[in-house]
A and B are shown apart, each in its own frame.
Chain A
Amino acid sequence: MKTIAYSSPFVPAEWITAHGVRPVRLRPDPAAAARLAGPLMGVCPYARAFVGKAMSLPDVDAVVLATTCDQMRRAAEWPGLAGGRPVFLMNVPATWQTPASVRLYRDELDRLGRLLVRLGGREPSRARLAEVMEDYDVRRAALRGMLGTLTARCASEAMARFDLGEEVVPNEGAARVVTRGTPVAVIGGPLMSADTGVFDIIEKAGGRVVLDGTENGTRTLPTPFDRRRLRDDPMLELVDAYFGTIPDAFRRPDTLLYQWLGREPAASGARGIIVWRYVWCDMWAAGVVRLREATGLPVLDVDVSGDEAELARAANRIQAFLEVLG
């Protein structure tokens, strides 16, 4: 089976699977970035690491990047990114309230579908797409149910396994949810594989992560599918569940994100917010002050570059933040 590597939550895994191709949503490791030549200053460490990881995987047949951030859009041109493999840059519109933007997103899925067919996949029938979506929906519901029983780190790792297409079963050895400590939300951009360590850092410092609003957390899960609409027009439902509902900082206007921020941190009982972002990430950097204004909660802005020294500095700041929150 052919394999597609991608990173953005706006790339529906169902669509790829329905074509008979395996979707692999990568969480790169920081070391992957170190292998790359090319500019360093100003380049997002995550984008570098993603490119490095994608280049190093021998069993990937194509790489999909999304235009949801300028750095990832431009990473599609990184010399040698694909090593002769197709690189697909998916236009995910920043606007979302017009029929034209919805149509563009849908057209881009069709274009991705044509690439999948060229790679050897098969165009799915309506029934096949609905069947795959239903399967994902069931498994995603199980994942959602399981997340609340795990520590933040284990939950994040469970989501990473789900994104890799691996079976996610309750692991008896997994640490159970922490019930004591200062409740905080972690919100922001994408995580690299080593970044799940931040959840441990928070818990060791006396905190408790009650909401994972990173790009790899529950914030970017598509809404559960409407079963009736799924049968009537699965593609329409797929577009609506992803493009119509996922809140993110790049969307214009960013109303969905601030609706989510008005709802979820309060519902989770978070007493503070840790913004987790990579240096040069403008979208989340610009949101820090607004986030404080919108939620009324104390906010700690943690910008990381992926190296260990940075993580140690971040740990100190997180510890201080939690002390202040009491």
Chain B
Amino acid sequence: MSGPPKRLTMEELDRLCRNRQAAGAAMPGYVGPLARHVKAGDRRLLRLRYDDSPAALRLWSFLLTEEERLHEARAAGKKIVGTMKDLGTVPVMAYALPNLVAFYPDGAWWTPCVMELSEGLFGIAQSLGLGDAFCPVRAMAGAFVNGAHFPIPDLLTCSVGATCDDFSAIAQRVESLGHPILWWEVPSRRRPDPGEPAVVLPGGFEAPASQVALVRSELERLRAALAELAGLPLGEAELAAGIREANRVRTILDELRRLAYMAEPCPMPALEMLIAEMLAIHFCSDRSESKAVLSELVDEVRRRTARHEGVSAEGAARLFWVNPVADLRVMNLVEDCGARLCGTEYLFCHALDRIPEDLPPMEALARMALADPMVGPSADRARRIIEDVRAFGAEGIVISRIPGASHCALEGAVIGRAVQDELGLPVVELEVPPLADSMWPNLKTRLEALVETVLAGRVR
């Protein structure tokens, strides 16, 4: 690649891929033209715009071949663990055992988007009683029924308690279809009472020590189940090693985020950064390869930053994005509207923070699980967002609502008000359905209005 970074169509990205293949560039076996995924039904790929780096090509190929990896793992005799509604805890434990692979069935929420509704998952979900009043993660129930999107796991776990009702209800429906679930409790995180023993969690939230102890005891149940599935002990040494490896991924991602969200001009597009961040949750079913994928992205971003090259114009409006979008294409709108991302909170900031290595492993994992922004008060989440907005120097906030999600209705108002009160920054709320094409003009206009407000604020 030469010249300043550009955003490519899928055809252009595939041309880049073929050229590299023809030139004998060293690439992992899974890297290939995205057209092969379009043939398999991933039609949304035709509508996206991609970063033009080999690192981004590798990232996309890694993401889109996850299902094949899972099947290969099973064929190789590994056991598969589906970790539902668990944004980053149980996978750390599962990958501490050499013959387990963890994945995130909830990830199927993007399948209707990627396949532009051609796969029929929402139809199956509807037939199960999970209609469009539910969050798009209902697609997961359809995927369990048709078995066409991920292998049925050997062990299925699900965190409940302080989770959104959509997910809890959908997971229960999955269990009713004959997929036993190991439910584990994460209580609603509360502020410690005066004088109550308290613990500071990774990321800075505080929780009563008794809640951490409860989560630790729940994780012990999971530890026993994972060890039984693997037929191997999951001792302190294995867990500590697993935590160290997870932290390596998180450290690389942390550097990537700092560079991508702070360098001027912006060195990596919003869409690729969303995908990169998602790797932190379950390593896209291959922990060591996820490290390599992220490292290559960091190298690319470092190169661009050194050359003062970016994917958006210098001085682009600096936006902070809250919640993941159901339609990936919407992330392309960031650069299309003359903006760039300066920070995100995609519901799993706790999976980006380093897990304490100076604590007994189960205690460290329990603290991390309880640091999930979804399990605590929205005001806590708002506080973390405000700190990150300050740290990354964002000038405007986009709160992206997930259709039907029980947490979004009130949470957006709490976060928006807190940000406006404390920082005086403009906030826009959007609702992004799995296919946002029909709402495109509306979404674009709202984002453009935010960008204009931000830029006008600079002049004043």
Contacts and interface: CB of A to CB of B under 8 A. Distances in A.
Interface of A: 38-39, 41-43, 67, 69-71, 73-79, 89, 91, 93-95, 98, 100-101, 103-104, 107, 111, 114, 249-250, 252-254, 279-283, 285-290
A43 B410 CA distance: 7
A289 B379 CA distance: 36
Contacts of B406: 42, 69-71, 74, 280, 282
A267 B183 CA distance: 31
Contacts of B409: 39, 41-43, 71, 74, 280
Nearest to A286: B169
B444 interface: no
B382 to A, nearest CB: 10
B169 A252 contact: no
18 contacts: A69-B165, A69-B406, A70-B165, A71-B165, A76-B377, A77-B410, A89-B188, A91-B190, A94-B160, A98-B221, A100-B217, A104-B214, A114-B193, A253-B181, A282-B168, A283-B168, A286-B130, A288-B129
Contacts of A250: 165, 168
A278 B411 CA distance: 19
Contacts of A67: 161-162, 187-188
Contact of A70 (B163, B190, B221): B163
A285 B134 contact: yes
Interface in B163-199: 163-166, 168-173, 175-176, 181, 183-185, 187-188, 190, 193
Interface residues of B, number: 52
Contact of A95 (B171, B184, B210, B401): B184
A100 B406 CA distance: 26
Contacts of B405: 42
A78 B417 CA distance: 12
B128 interface: yes
Given A280-B409, A282-B134, A287 B183 contact: no
B181 A71 contact: no
A168 B401 CA distance: 46
B133 interface: yes
B217 to A, nearest CB: 5
Contacts of A280: 133, 404, 406, 409
Interface string B351-383: 000000000000000000000000001110000
A70 B404 CA distance: 13
Interface string B388-412: 0000000000000100111111111
